[in-house]
Amino acid sequence: MLLSRLDLIKKEISSINEYVPGKSIEDIVRAYGLDPDSVIKLGSNENPLGPSPMAVDALIEHAPQVNIYPSADASELVDALSGHTGFPAHNIVASGPGMDGLIDGLMRLTIARGDEVIIPMPTFSYYEIAARANGAVPVLVERNVDYAVDVKAVQDAESSRTKVVFLCSPNNPSGNLVPVEDVRAIAEFTHGLVFVDEAYVEFADSSLVHLVNEYDNIIVGRTFSKAFGLAGLRIGYGIMPQWLKSEYMRVATPFNVSVAAIAAGTSALSDTEHLTKSIELVREGREFLKEHIPFEVYDSQANFVMVDVAPLKARDVCESLLRKGIIVRDCTSFLGAGDSLVRVTVGTRKQNERVVENFGEVQGL
């Protein structure tokens, strides 16, 4: 019975490894019998300052209107994003749920069964899931030893079926940017699209978004989940050439950004004080972590740092930190990351001090 029911599911789905999220506070409280107030969550790159108070006010103000559908294309948020980014509205798509929704929409738009996407790994795992679910064959290429994208390997992986090359800048989990000349090179040799994921760009020294004005095959993905502190509302956006927005809107799920998300997102964009505070906290905190965690810590342009705990195993170090109520991310589930990398979200000063102290204690494992 079950076997015949499984016939209903597309063949490609069986090759997908389910997305592995960072652990929740509830998971840890249950597993280790901890006091919830003692647990710090530094495994999902969220904003430790919380949401913008202006966004919270907007949510409350709009709560009585949730019986009404939002605008189908979130045009109020798109207009606000136009002011924020300097790009005209015809280059911007607002998306829910989060940037993940944009990635999925892009796959639905471009992929016919057997088409290929190129993914330099280790990187954010949802590219591969969205690609496979839409019938694509992910072509995984290794990065260089310093986690830079190997442009030659990407070129070697290019084929007549390449539809999208995924570049994450700053990269999750390694924290490094993709140099502009590498993106240009890839955009020029590929006959596919180049998706530049800038989920963490607000914390970085530079952005690649200006390339959207120069290349008709570059699309930049962004999110409100990190610097804007709205991960729970699931809002993302894309900046893309006008021709691509026109095509994208043919397949976009109508009303995919909720009334609450449009209101809070628009307010968060105007709360520059909260944004600046969030960015400063991260910039200071990642230097502190890099200096004081007693293992190799990679330079990062994001709101997390990647720590190599070799010869220890990431799994053991994470387990030991979890027992102390500190949630960090074991990167073993990232394809190509090996088994000794741990990703730590930058927290408040107090949280960072606790992280450093506890990394000191795991040294003797």
Ligand X SMILES: Cc1ncc(COP(=O)(O)O)c(C=O)c1O
> Any contact of residue 124 with ligand X (CB under 6 A)?
yes
Instruction: Give alpha helix (H) positions in the chain.
Output: 2-6, 25-32, 53-62, 75-85, 98-110, 126-133, 151-157, 180-189, 242-251, 259-270, 272-292, 314-323, 349-362
Tell me the window of 9-17, 62-70, 95-103, 306-314 that interacts with ligand X (CB under 6 A): 95-103
Binding to ligand X (CB under 6 A): which residues in 11-50?
A: 45
> Any contact of residue 100 with ligand X (CB under 6 A)?
yes
> Any contact of residue 202 with ligand X (CB under 6 A)?
no
Tell me the window of 3-11, 71-79, 94-102, 253-261 that interacts with ligand X (CB under 6 A): 94-102
Q: Least distance in Å: CB of 156 to ligand X?
A: 24
Q: Are 360 and 332 in contact (CB under 8 A)?
A: no
Q: Are 263 and 66 in contact (CB under 8 A)?
A: no
Q: Least distance in Å: CB of 324 to ligand X?
A: 24
Q: Least distance in Å: CB of 95 to ligand X?
A: 8
- Residue whose token pair is 């976009």: 252
**How far is Cα 254 from Cα 233, in angstroms, rounded to an integer?**
17
Among 40, 109, 199, 201, binds ligand X (CB under 6 A): 199
Binding to ligand X (CB under 6 A): which residues in 168-197?
A: 168, 172, 197
Q: Least distance in Å: CB of 17 to ligand X?
A: 17
Binding to ligand X (CB under 6 A): which residues in 203-262?
A: 223, 225, 231, 236
Tell me the window of 85-93, 98-106, 144-152, 207-215 that interacts with ligand X (CB under 6 A): 98-106
- Residue number closest to ligand X, CB atom: 98
* DSSP conformation letters of 228-270: T--GGG-BEEEE--HHHHHHHHHHSPTT-S-HHHHHHHHHHHH
Among 48, 51, 70, 98, binds ligand X (CB under 6 A): 98
Query: What is the side-by-side strand order in the sheet with 162-168?
Result: 92-95, 236-239, 218-223, 193-197, 162-168, 116-121, 137-142
Provide the binding-site residues for ligand X, judged by CB under 6 A: 45, 98-100, 124, 168, 172, 197, 199, 223, 225, 231, 236
